Amino acid sequence: MSRIGKAPIEIPAGVTVDVAKDNVVTVKGPKGTLSQAVNPEFTITIEDGHLHIARPTDDREHRAQHGLYRALVHNMVVGVSTGYRKELELVGVGYRATATGQVLELSLGYSHAIYLKLPPEVKVEAKSERNKNPLIILESDDKQLLGQVCAKIRSFRKPEPYKGKGIKFVGEVIRRKSGKTAGAK
């Protein structure tokens, strides 16, 4: 019994949802347009400003997909109405980030700079303040694409548990380990 799948999706003002006959849901809003293909066996209805997704049977596969499709469509509705925002923090001496257009330049202690070309749907901003760690702020209407870009940036220098250096999300807690000298007696 999918509790997530049964929950209706509220469609805010300024957002339009279209369902094509081949079950492709297209959501348009002030931040952009997104579309997602849904299993054609599912029925999608829009009534009174709410979108409902109903599964055909109680098979294991249909139950698993019910909550998934509801979550994907809900993420699209939230994305085109308010958008998503992620902040990454660079922790380490000499770590820098600069954004020029859709290209992010990272200096992470390697012998070379890393240049990452971002998709046009993702807006990037790099902040550097004195005596604070540099920040990378990413915004997009597509939650999945934003998470993928964040994971790619983070993979260049993952936070390590001994000194805490690396790229981490703002507010993320890194479990720290004590070094070799802590256990010696």
What band does 185 get if pLDDT is binned at 50, 70 and 90?
A: low
Summarised one tens digit per residue, pLDDT across range 71-111 is 999 999 999 999 999 999 999 999 999 999 999 999 999 99
Q: What is the pLDDT of residue 1?
A: 47
Residue 66 has pLDDT above 90, yes or no: yes
SS3 138: strand
> To the nearest 10°, the Cα dihedral for 65, 66, 70, 72?
0
Q: What is the pLDDT of residue 82?
A: 94
Q: What is the pLDDT of residue 15?
A: 93
Cα–Cα dist 150/103, whole Å: 14
* DSSP element (H, E) containing 32: strand 32-37
Angstrom CA distances, 103 to 64, 87, 97, 150, 181, stand at 38, 17, 10, 14, 42
Residue 32 has pLDDT above 60, yes or no: yes
Summarised one tens digit per residue, pLDDT across range 122-178 is 999 999 999 999 999 999 999 999 999 999 999 999 999 999 899 999 999 999 998
Nearest of 162, 155, 163, 159 to residue 171 by alpha carbon: 159
* DSSP element (H, E) containing 154: helix 143-155
Q: What is the pLDDT of residue 179?
A: 83
